[in-house]
Structure 1
Amino acid sequence: MKKINLTKSEEETYFIKGRSIPKGCKYCLKGSKAVLFLNGICQKPDHCSWYCPISEERRDKDVTFADEIEIITKEELLKEIKMINAQGMSITGGEPLSEINFEKTLDYIKYVKLNKGRKFHIHLYTNGIDFNENKADKLSMAGLDEIRFHPAKEHWVNIEKALNKKMKVGAELPVIPEKEEIETLEKLIIYLNTIGADFINLNEFEYCFPNSQALKERGFQLKNGSIASVINSQETGLDLIRKIGAKVSIKMHLCSIRAKDYYQLKNRYIRRAKNIKLPYEVITEEGLLVFGQIEGDKKELDKFYKNLLFNLRIQNKFISYDEKNIKIPFYISIKGQVLSILEKYQLKGFIVETTPFRLSKYQQITEKTPIELFKEEYGFNGN
């Protein structure tokens, strides 16, 4: 039997050398896919509802999100697509293809394709319960490029109805490290290969707040040093690829928690940050925004502001003064001259790091460190 070679990507995913990964995954890992969360309405099938990671904010709710942004109109979706310079979009839920959601899903696909063009890549996730050939035809005509099934065994047959419709067809499931689950997953991979599907995506099993109690009750534990990875999930997935990879010809791709929660998010944040960055902000390697923030008495802030402009000759575009605080580039705020003025006027200075959003309901302050402590931690001498 021919031996397969596993390749590890820069983003810590794994695939069989020579087979690559689905196109949708390539865009996701680059952070160039917008995620359309259609709504949280789903049939709650037994095979997956117990480990569903959807938050209470979204579960069973008829609310729509484009990435982290709650939206009401299609125009707002386009705005988010533009904000991250997206090359594609994924559609998830809830269940996008349920009877209550199907027409809405079609409308979004048609609208985005009309406005972004045929090359704009769209993939979709479904449990396959309500899937049929009529829906497959309509999705193909609307412009869907890729469909990913997460079906119970009794609905595997529905996957075949998506074949030969000018869409890439595959499945995406978590690797649940239990004997019976892995045996079923192996049979699914063989089935996908037999019917001529294109790929199988295996996800490292995720431990998160919404499903933590259910996983705990079933005996699953967190991997040491991780806040989301279930013990033995990734290793089991890799073993499965090694075992069955040579027996099938479809693409097999294992996506780690780190790939999803760090690299994918980081790369999307970087794209967003580049589009919203203000002159006094600096983009970090994680796509966060950093700046210096000066706080204190209003009269003293006025004096400090004038010092920045007339004594230190800092250009006005690098200063934001909103009457409550002054924001300046962090590399200016750590200079000795600036720190001396802060001390003179008894002002407090911080280095602030935020997520790349402007609306306060989405923006999070990830760090707020006193300047002197920041300099000490990062080895800046202020020169």
Structure 2
Amino acid sequence: MGGKMVLFVYGYCDQRDCFYCPLGENRKNVTDVYANERKVESDADVIEEAKRMDALGSSITGGEPQEALDKTCRYISLLKDEFGEDHHIHLYTGITGGRENMRRLAEAGLDEIRFHPPLELWGDMHGTEWEDILYIAREEGLTPAFEIPGIRAEREFLEFLDEGAAEFCNINEFEMSDGNYRRMQEKGYELQDGHMSAVDGSKEAILDEMGDHERVYFCTSVFKDAAQHRNRLKRMARNLRRPFDEVTDDGTLVYGKTLSLIHIS
């Protein structure tokens, strides 16, 4: 939880145009690379950022990482060469990619691939390339899984889990962001009362229909922001602290304190 470095490798996603894509202006349709929030200028920046937070692994994301496969594989190999096989790496993708891509990713050192199928196919994925790629990925040595936005409940994902095609299904609470709020509002979505980003109306139905499955994991927007991000900051702070610094619960450093007061009567 918050132990992985997030490596954003590519901001384009030419094969998808999801109305709920959360990418903002500084990430959408760019070729820049970011390690957590740090813009990468060299391979050394990636390694340094992972060391700063004592990363347990890395999450490869975009855009669409498979559309920049050479670069994606190079970074996977870079991380594995530096930190070894125990540095767990997963990749988030919105396309199937095919066997050759799965083979190249596995050879580079990828451990796990999380698929995000198009919303319009939910409920009709059996017998399509989205079913095939789960078995292909496993044959090539990868752990296949789903990671999807919590737009609505869909039992077909549970069927893939029970059939052994996918290992687990992560569901992220449906959110609005600076990058998607206009298109989201055009589709009729609104924020939950009292929330900065969570969308109204889907969480309860998803939990009712899918939440009891032992390999379905629902991540709320509050948990992601308050827990995962904070833990990432705390890992960094523990590595950067000086002997006299203190790490707060929020992952910040306190480096100046009043130690005592003189009482004058």
Q: Say yes or no: TM over 0.5.
A: yes
Q: Which amino acid aligns with 1:147?
A: I
Structure with bigger RCO (C-alpha 8 Å, 6+ apart): 2
Is the CA contact 2:158–2:210 (under 8 Å) kept in the aligned structure 1?
no
In structure 2, what is the equivalent of residue 122 of structure 1?
89
Alignment partners' CA distance in 1, 2:160 and 2:249: 42
- The alignment partner of 1:269 has SS state of helix
Alignment partners' CA distance in 1, 2:180 and 2:69: 27
Q: 1:163-218 CA deviation, whole Å, 9 max, x = no partner?
A: 222221111101114xxxx3xx3224324543522111111101222111122222
Task: Measure how far apart 1:45 and its partner are.
Answer: 1.2
Q: Which amino acid aligns with 2:231?
A: N
Q: Give 1 or 2: higher helix fraction.
A: 1
In structure 1, what is the equivalent of residue 145 of structure 2?
170
Q: Which amino acid aligns with 1:124?
A: L
Q: Which amino acid aligns with 2:196?
A: I
- The alignment partner of 1:139 has SS state of helix
Q: 1:344-383 CA deviation, whole Å, 9 max, x = no partner?
A: xxxxxxxxxxxxxxxxxxxxxxxxxxxxxxxxxxxxx9xx
Which structure has the bigger radius of gyration?
1
In structure 1, what is the equivalent of residue 112 of structure 2?
146
State the number of aligned residues.
254
Is the CA contact 1:34–1:86 (under 8 Å) kept in the aligned structure 2?
yes
- The alignment partner of 1:170 has SS state of strand
Task: Measure how far apart 1:281 and its partner are.
Answer: 4.2
Matches within 5 A, 1:269-348: 269-278=233-242, 281-291=245-255, 329-332=256-259, 336=261
> 220-229 or 153-162: which moved more?
153-162
Q: Which amino acid aligns with 1:112?
A: L
Is the CA contact 2:99–2:136 (under 8 Å) kept in the aligned structure 1?
yes
The answer to whether the aligner puts 1:257 opposite 2:228 as a matched pair is no
Q: 1:7-47 CA deviation, whole Å, 9 max, x = no partner?
A: xxxxxxxxxxxxxxxxxxxxxx1x2100100021211514x
Alignment partners' CA distance in 2, 1:42 and 1:262: 28
- The alignment partner of 1:163 has SS state of helix
Alignment partners' CA distance in 2, 1:207 and 1:193: 31
- The alignment partner of 1:169 has SS state of strand
- Closer/same/farther in 2, CA of residues 103 and 331 from structure 1, 3 Å limit: same
Which of the numbers 267, 274, 293 marks the counterpart of 2:231? 267
- The alignment partner of 1:201 has SS state of strand
Structure 1 stretches of 5 or more lacking a match?
1-28, 292-328, 338-380
In structure 2, what is the equivalent of residue 51 of structure 1?
20
* TM-score between the two structures when normalised by the length of structure 1: 0.62
Q: Which amino acid aligns with 1:163?
A: R
* TM-score between the two structures when normalised by the length of structure 2: 0.88
Task: Measure how far apart 1:142 and its partner are.
Answer: 1.6
Q: CA RMSD, aligned part only?
A: 2.1
